[in-house]
Amino acid sequence: MGKIKWERSFPSQVYTKWAGKSVYYYKSINSTNVKAHELAAQGARHGSVVLADKQTAGRGRRGRQWDSPPGENLYFTLLLYPKLPARKASMLTLVMALAVGKALGEVTGHEIWIKWPNDMVLNGKKVAGILTEMQARNDEIDHVIIGVGVNVARREFEGELAEKATSLENEVENQVTREALLAGILEHFEILYEMFCLKGNMRDLRQAYESYLINKGRQVLVLDPTGEFAGIALGINDTGELQVQLKDGTVQSVYAGEVSVRGVYGYV
Ligand code: BTN
């Protein structure tokens, strides 16, 4: 797969009403999430996309860094002004995961899975991650940003990533361009977001999300800051919480927040 240049107009073709109609492209930036917050403060429009070829301080979930070398991967952030109470914002991570799952499935022809709430999995390894951040006053959202990183052409992963991360280049035979992938994600997201906003919950998207949910029916280990526990993941509820059945038969709802979920014997 050849290196893809971003300098030409981007994304090439997006059939949307608002998602990605404004694109802010940076050859190098600290983090597209950080920039999206700044652009929101300057009044950037709903659906603006911040895109970078390289990030010098890419952010991952739970304070981790997201390694973001140039020329290889997709790094973008979508800016939204949802009319929702702040406590509902975390569900947007699930909506984006579903959009990324659909788009990745289409462009790769491979089976894509979601490891709740926000890891995208291909052949048992993580190929993409999502980081949602919000600015709110009391329970009122000012803006939400959803950052997405997809390992497209990266070949080597060091340290703990070697075990659990992969890229499209490593797993997929056909050539996938970052442009096509971004366009697909935005198109799916726009439709799914509008469905989500009708009810302000995951009710209408739950079945679709669960069809991608790799944890469903499997033993999971929930690593909660207040303690860890194991159980069987049943699916999600209408507010996107993972439903985990404990040994005694009771069902515990797990809210995304600071929690991490993994397989009992490994990553999934
Ligand atoms: C995770 O830990 O799985 C979430 C990773 C999210 C990475 C993306 S890359 C684009 C956007 N900008 C950032 O700084 N982070 C997100």
pLDDT in tens, 49-63: 999 999 999 999 988
**Whole domain around residue 71: which residue ranges?**
10-211
Instruction: Indicate if 72 and 139 belong to the same structural domain.
Output: yes
Instruction: Indicate if 138 and 220 belong to the same structural domain.
Output: no
Among 211, 231, 251, the domain boundary falls at 211
Report the distance separating Cα 231 and Cα 161, nearest Å.
Answer: 25
Report the distance separating Cα 159 and Cα 168, nearest Å.
Answer: 19
Please report which residue ranges of 146-205 form alpha helices under DSSP H.
161-164, 168-171, 178-199
User: Which residues make Cβ contacts (< 8 Å) with residue 218, sequence separation at least 6?
Assistant: 232, 233, 263, 268
CATH number of the domain where residue 227 is located: 2.30.30.100
Mean pLDDT over 229-257 rounds to: 93
pLDDT at 82: 97
Considering the domain boundaries, does residue 252 fall inside one? yes
Considering the domain boundaries, does residue 267 fall inside one? no
pLDDT above 80 for 215: yes
Ligand 1 lined by 117 (C-beta under 6 Å): no
Considering the domain boundaries, does residue 125 fall inside one? yes
Domain count, the chain: 2
Mean pLDDT over 6-19 rounds to: 73
Closest CA to 114 of 157, 148, 82, 65: 148
Pocket test for ligand 1, best of 29, 66, 151, 258 (most atoms within 8 A of CB): 66
pLDDT above 80 for 99: yes
pLDDT at 4: 46
Instruction: Indicate if 147 and 19 belong to the same structural domain.
Output: yes
Considering the domain boundaries, does residue 171 fall inside one? yes
Instruction: Indicate if 40 and 155 belong to the same structural domain.
Output: yes
Considering the domain boundaries, does residue 234 fall inside one? yes
Ligand 1 lined by 154 (C-beta under 6 Å): no
Q: Which atom of ligand 1 is nearest the CA belonging to 64? A: 2
Going by pLDDT thresholds of 50, 70 and 90, the confidence category of residue 3 is very low
How many residues are there in the chain? Answer: 268
Instruction: Indicate if 174 and 47 belong to the same structural domain.
Output: yes
Q: Which atom of ligand 1 is nearest the CA belonging to 149? A: 9
pLDDT at 259: 64
Instruction: Indicate if 190 and 82 belong to the same structural domain.
Output: yes
Report the distance separating Cα 136 and Cα 182, nearest Å.
Answer: 27
Instruction: Indicate if 39 and 162 belong to the same structural domain.
Output: yes
Spatial strand order of the sheet with 23-29 comes to 23-29, 49-55, 74-80, 140-150, 125-137, 119-122, 113-115
CA of 65 to the centre of ligand 1 (A): 8
pTM above threshold 0.85:
yes
Highest mean pLDDT: which range of 1-15, 189-203, 219-233? 189-203
